Amino acid sequence: MKKINIIVAFGKDRIIGKNNDLVWKGVPGDLKRFKEITTGHPIIMGRKTFESIGNKPLSNRINIVITRNPELKIEGCVVCSSLEEAIKKASDIDEQIFIIGGGQIYKQAINLTDRLYITLIDAEADGNVLFPDYSMFTKIISCENMPSTEKFPHTYKFLILEK
């Protein structure tokens, strides 16, 4: 049975991005965690997210990009025209599916999602892309509190939540 997961980092204000870029960079362990969790599984993202990660597929994962442009072809990626099509293609590949952004895709996927993998930073950010309300995810599967460091002055948590 397929399991739809979202993986995301945001602060107290649920801001995830600004001007097609992540606002939370340099969170110790966050990228390593992202890679460990998503490697070997299909990842679904919007075109803008794909562009923001360098216009190249992430290795060791099937990269599925959603776009409104029916002519768009991306080497090394599966291109779909809707979230539903992307989920169908991903579920043909693996039971675990990861939605990795951006804001519009998260908004469409939140009600279809089984599990959230959140890096929750104890700070606010300046941004214009907001993660949708996730108050229906009340079951805490795990919560790992992380300290601030010299390089990253905020405490944060690695959270896994389910409905």
Homologous superfamily (CATH) for 3-162: Dihydrofolate Reductase, subunit A (3.40.430.10)
Summarize pLDDT for 108-154 with one digit per residue, the tens.
999 999 999 999 999 999 999 999 999 999 999 999 999 999 999 99
Domain ranges of the chain: 3-162
User: pTM of this prediction?
Assistant: 0.95
d(CA 115, CA 5): 5
Sheet architecture: strand order including 115-121: 77-80, 63-66, 43-46, 96-101, 3-10, 115-121, 156-162, 139-146
